[in-house]
Chains A and B, each alone.
Chain A
């Protein structure tokens, strides 16, 4: 087991190296107009150095004067030493901006995940146990519909219904107009109120996949021989499903849910942007569109690490949860 984990970790590091090499190369091939604009702006300040001098200094600062490979190793070294540089767009250290925003996304993700599990798994099981009935069709079609739902269109519909027609929620933002006048508890409630629609969106767009996954796996388990045995020996249906079948369905479920845990930190790009919720998705979207290379590089590296860690967790959990799987 330990050997397996070490091997997987080693592989993950290599994959990370190449992923970031591709991304770094792409970034370097983009026009460096941002640096030029910044140099021009700085050279216009009184008593400043000339444009060329600024240009040279900025290029050096961002490692742009090296070749791509050398520059990449420079970036990688800085990254592993924990120096992520300053965000060009937000003009604060990248890690500071990241720390300010990531926790909001994390809490949103956690709440979403809770509801996702509570809603999707029972529905998936119900659909599987009542295969080929109206309930099954309804749930299956609903699941596909949720998967097919374009996030931005769904958000627009929610806004039209709840914000414009009913007026229950604000259209944008994390805090209301009189946020400053509220006490601590009131401020917390205000934030929660503004997070209702974004979290609702996240839940709806994420439950479809899990619902289908649960149904497929439950169906597979229900067709297994040990379920037939359980039924044959006269156990009541309730016990068969919730004691024998469900526990076996949990194996793939735990694996997939464990694997998606790191994803809680990745932020919801569309939802946060459309609701102007200052989480990591919203923040990085604006940094990326503005051509903020330090922040974008950091965010992409962060996402790559999250994916790798997620895969690792899923693989390890699979080995841990399923006694049939034994890894040398």
Chain B
């Protein structure tokens, strides 16, 4: 029952509404803007373009914020490299040490060698007689015969201090070598007894090791490292055994691996250590940390792409803004005033049309390279130049439209109303051209992005450290990259293609939507 009455009520309401003149009952007329939007949204391809553009903006502007890495953050990897660590040589030549306050120069040293080779125990040089006493195998003491003072020693076994940075006194070396070469286990020096073990180690009675004696000279190549005695002894044992590998456990219990190379021509050994080196993680394959790998500088590719997109889009916008503003002013003036103003401006447009822009941009880019212009400043110059070269097209478009518009009645009305000329042009004429401007700008941004990318690809546009899709693809000039690292250049190229395509599709869709002749 109650249902029925309700129904009746609604019917009455509907009937009432049908004849009412309330605002919501008026025939729905779409505003021109809504009409264009509706027509645009009906064009599926253009909507796809719009979605792609929205994605690109999100990718470039939000992506940079969300990415955990910075634009120029470089990554490292640990690489194992065999670095030269030490050199070893078996000593077969006499070495010399002068006694304190004695002259034992190289001429006398040479004479000593001659004397030892002839097994003489004395020689004369410059009317001074020297004595050469063999104190042990390959160990000689040189004296002045006249006063019987020792001026130095010549030896082949080398005494090395066990403690870093300590120098050994002459007397100590002499006594130690004398004992060692003669196979004695102990000697005394300055009233203290020292002991020599089987391996040539010299120690105090308390067991403190002072030095060791060996026929091998082992020198470290890496600055700032000291080769301990045990290291040297173990190395010598390996060298004598003719091994090509050597594992040493240091005092902290860490094992180090070394490879030993014997160079026959110079009769020495080179000991290489496998060390871990930090290098830039260049051209790393895509992984969980770097979804698109890393580039030639070890930077995260995905992050570079995001920042590159930012640069490409911003440059596209600014360049189009510059050329559109210039184009509106010049085209508006030419179209409104006509006659000689129009003629002059259109001839300027002709001149600009005729300038070969790409070659000119290449020359300017190369010149900026030569002048080492700061990369940031360069980007500004690039935008200014591109913007300044781009206005004639816009000017021609606006001028053509305004030429016909200014003959219409509303312009006569503005004249009658006494509105200033600048207002007439920019408030009444130009807004009527806005659809064409929007379409031209949309398509223009795509074109600008390609130009910028092409220049950056040639290395003459946006420069390192700034990323741009063009200079990211630049790496493909390296044939090895082309063949092996698709992830360096394919994503950047795809993004570039998609972005330009999207701008063009949207521009195309807008052109159709703005077209009043469109039936749909």
Contacts and interface: CB of A to CB of B under 8 A. Distances in A.
Interface of A: 11, 14-16, 18-19, 22-23, 26-27, 30-31, 33, 137, 140-141, 144-145, 147-153, 156-157, 159-160, 164, 171, 269-270, 273, 284-285, 288-291, 296, 299-300, 303-304, 307-308
Interface in B484-506: 486, 489-490, 493, 496-497, 500-501, 503-505
Interface of B: 45, 347, 350-351, 353-356, 358-360, 362-364, 366-367, 370-371, 446, 450, 453-454, 457-458, 460, 470, 473, 476, 479, 482-483, 486, 489-490, 493, 496-497, 500-501, 503-505, 508
Nearest to A156: B476
Contacts of A156: 473, 476, 482, 489, 493
Contact of B359 (A148, A171, A299): A299
27 contacts: A11-B350, A22-B355, A26-B363, A31-B370, A140-B508, A144-B504, A148-B450, A148-B497, A150-B450, A150-B496, A150-B497, A152-B454, A153-B497, A156-B489, A159-B482, A160-B482, A160-B486, A164-B483, A288-B362, A289-B362, A291-B363, A291-B367, A299-B359, A303-B356, A304-B356, A307-B353, A307-B354
Contacts of A140: 45, 508
A145 B446 CA distance: 12
Given A156-B473, A156-B482, A164-B483, A148 B367 contact: no
Contact of A153 (B353, B359, B367, B493): B493
Contacts of A270: 454
B351 A18 contact: yes
Contacts of B508: 140, 144
B353 to A, nearest CB: 7
Contacts of A150: 450, 453-454, 457, 470, 473, 493, 496-497, 500
Given A289-B366, A300-B359, 18 more contacts: A14-B347, A15-B347, A15-B351, A18-B351, A22-B351, A22-B355, A23-B355, A26-B363, A31-B370, A141-B45, A144-B501, A148-B446, A148-B497, A151-B454, A157-B490, A296-B359, A307-B354, A307-B356
B359 A284 contact: yes
Contacts of B360: 23, 26, 300
A308 B354 contact: yes
Contact of B371 (A31, A290, A296): A31
Nearest to B363: A288
Contacts of B347: 11, 14-15
Given A270-B454, A288-B362, A291-B370, A148 B45 contact: no
Contacts of B457: 150, 152
Nearest to A270: B454
Contacts of A303: 356, 359
Nearest to B362: A288
A147 B508 CA distance: 12
B472 to A, nearest CB: 11
Contacts of A273: 458
Contacts of A27: 363
Contacts of B489: 153, 156
A19 B354 contact: yes
| 6 residue pairs, one from A and one from B, having the closest CB atoms | A153-B493, A303-B356, A148-B500, A148-B501, A30-B367, A156-B476
A138 B370 CA distance: 46
A290 B479 CA distance: 23
A18 B364 CA distance: 19
Contact of A288 (B366, B371, B479, B496): B366
A21 B508 CA distance: 37
A179 B231 CA distance: 62
A26 B453 CA distance: 23
A152 B456 CA distance: 11
A304 B496 contact: no
B497 A164 contact: no
Contact of B355 (A14, A19, A157, A284): A19
B351 A269 contact: no
**Centre residue among A144, A299, A308 by max chain B CB count within 10 A:** A144
A300 B458 CA distance: 19
A210 to B, nearest CB: 16
A296 B358 CA distance: 12
A138 B413 CA distance: 47
Contacts of B500: 148, 150
A126 B366 CA distance: 45
Nearest to A302: B356
